[in-house]
Copies of this chain bind each other. A is one copy, B any other.
Amino acid sequence: MSEKKQKLTEISELGEFGLIKHITKDIKINHKNTIKGVGDDAAVIDYGDVCSVVTTDLLVEGIHFNLIYTPLKHLGYKAVVVNLSDVYAMNAIPKQITVSIALSKKFAIEHVEQIYEGIKLACDKYNVDLVGGDTTSSLTGLAISITAIGEAKKENIAYRSTANKNDVVCVTGDLGAAYMGLQLLEREKEIFKTNPGINPSLEGYDYILQRQLKPEARKDVIEILKELNIKPTSMIDISDGLSSEIFHICDKSDVGCKIFQDKIPVDQNTEKMAEEFNIDPLTAALNGGEDYELLFTIDIKDLEKIKDHAMIHPIGHVTGKEHGAVMITNGGQSVALQAQGWNQMKKE
């Protein structure tokens, strides 16, 4: 890199989302079958009978995972699941994946086998074909790049940009557990580092650990929505935290949003762990990330249809843009949501 003594700008000044926006601001789309490019959970390509949705994620050791406490099999599984989650978030069905892996010399064949065991397990569970990829060396550490390809009819695809005023805002499952699982693993890692004699105490924390180490994608919810004949008016998956995803929907749909604190689903295991850590469980739910639940909006006429489905929670409604994205607290106050999200590139 020959620097011409130009002034350089640190990436942290923009953060991940800012950098992506900056880089992609002048991108041209030339093919009319490219229905959706950058800016949603996945790109959409029109093939006539059916549309293909394509999404990709690059996971890097030391940034997205720590091998001190991440079993390689779980890592392979999770790497697939996070991509499938993006396909489901388009209201599409994942069908194929490609997997590229870069490995440093510290990895042996047996390690690669464990990673692929997890990858194949996820492929079996979600009925996805592993169709290609790349295997290469790296100087340090492990990187996994997965591309997932799904299918949907054009009219069924759900975007971030199509929420309407008065739509009901829903989330699936519960939030914040993956974040609390990460806190627990980090704590036990530190204890182990200073006192290698003490065994990590992870018993009784199965739920939050599983949510962090071996998350699932919401295939079931996409199937239920289809059965109920509901097409979400907008949808996104929750990978960076509820707040951040609500901001994406509001930004792309040009709307505001009002959610209610007492409607945000938090599991009792998450609450218990948060108490132990003296963290507000609400913070974990809003800004924790890695939950891989779905956030979507539905027309108010469809509200009745979801009421018997315990894993789908209405948490608020879409408002006009002028109202911004707010949460009504249990005390009745209206507070602006912070789009902090999970952003390793941004300065603290």
A interface residues (Cβ-Cβ under 8 A, vs B)? 1-2, 6, 8-11, 13-14, 16, 19-20, 22-24, 26-31, 33-34, 36-38, 42-43, 45, 47-50, 52, 54-64, 67, 71-72, 95-96, 98, 100-103, 105, 107-113, 116, 120, 127-141, 143, 145, 147, 149, 344-345
Residues of chain B contacted by A22 (CB below 8 angstroms): 109
Given contacts A23-B135, A27-B120, A56-B133, 20 further A-B contacts (CB under 8 A): A10-B108, A13-B109, A19-B112, A19-B135, A22-B109, A23-B112, A26-B120, A29-B129, A29-B131, A34-B95, A38-B130, A45-B149, A54-B132, A58-B101, A63-B137, A64-B136, A100-B145, A137-B344, A137-B345, A139-B140
Chain B residue numbers with a CB within 8 Å of A20 are 135
Measured in the bound complex, the distance between the Cα atoms of B210 and A74 in whole Å is: 43
A108 contact set on B, CB distance < 8 A: 8-11
Whether B54 contacts A11 by the Cβ 8 Å rule is no
How far does the alpha carbon of A14 sit from the alpha carbon of B108 in the complex, in Å? 10
Interface CB pairs A-B, < 8 A, 7? A1-B67, A11-B108, A22-B109, A23-B112, A37-B131, A48-B50, A102-B143
Q: Are B131 and A58 in contact, with the CB atoms below 8 A?
A: no
Residue from A31, A112, A145 having most chain B Cβ neighbours under 10 A: A145
- Chain B positions within 8 Å of A36 at CB level: 131
Contacts of A137 in B (CB 8 A): 60, 63, 344-345
Q: Which residues of B contact A138 (CB under 8 A)?
A: 60, 62-63, 143
Q: Kindly list the 9 A-B residue pairs having the minimum CB-CB distance in the complex, ordered from nearest.
A: A43-B131, A8-B108, A145-B145, A47-B47, A58-B100, A48-B49, A9-B109, A62-B139, A37-B131
- Main secondary structure, interface of A, reads mixed
- Contact A147 B56, beta carbon cutoff 8 Å: yes
Contact of A57 among B11, B100, B345 (CB under 8 A): B100
* Bound Cα distance A61, B116 (Å): 24
Closest to A117 in B: B23
* Bound CA–CA A96/B62 (angstroms): 30
B140 adjacent to A143 (CB under 8 Å): no
Contact A54 B9 (CB under 8 A): no
Cα distance A138–B48 in the bound complex, in angstroms: 39
Point out the residues of chain B lying under 8 angstroms from A127, CB to CB: 30-31
- Residue of B whose beta carbon sits closest to that of A67: B1
Tell me the nearest residue of chain B to A143, going by C-beta. Answer: B143
Bound: A8/B8 CA distance, A: 45
A16 in contact with B143 (CB, 8 Å): no
Q: Is the CB of A11 within 8 A of B58?
A: no
Please state if A133 and B38 are interface contacts (CB–CB under 8 Å): yes
User: A140 contacts which of B54, B132, B141 (Cβ < 8 Å)?
Assistant: B141
Which residues of B lie under 8 Å from residue A102 when comparing CB positions?
58, 60, 63, 143
Inter-chain contact A33/B95, CB cutoff 8 Å: yes
The chain B residue with its CB closest to the CB of A47 is B47
- Which of the residues B16, B49, B128, B147 comes within 8 Å of A147, measured between beta carbons? B147
Chain B residues with CB below 8 A from A103, complex form: 11
A31:B135 contact, CB within 8 angstroms: no
> Are the C-beta atoms of B101 and A43 separated by less than 8 Å?
no
Is A147 a contact partner of B54 (Cβ separation < 8 A)? yes
A16 to chain B, nearest CB (A): 6
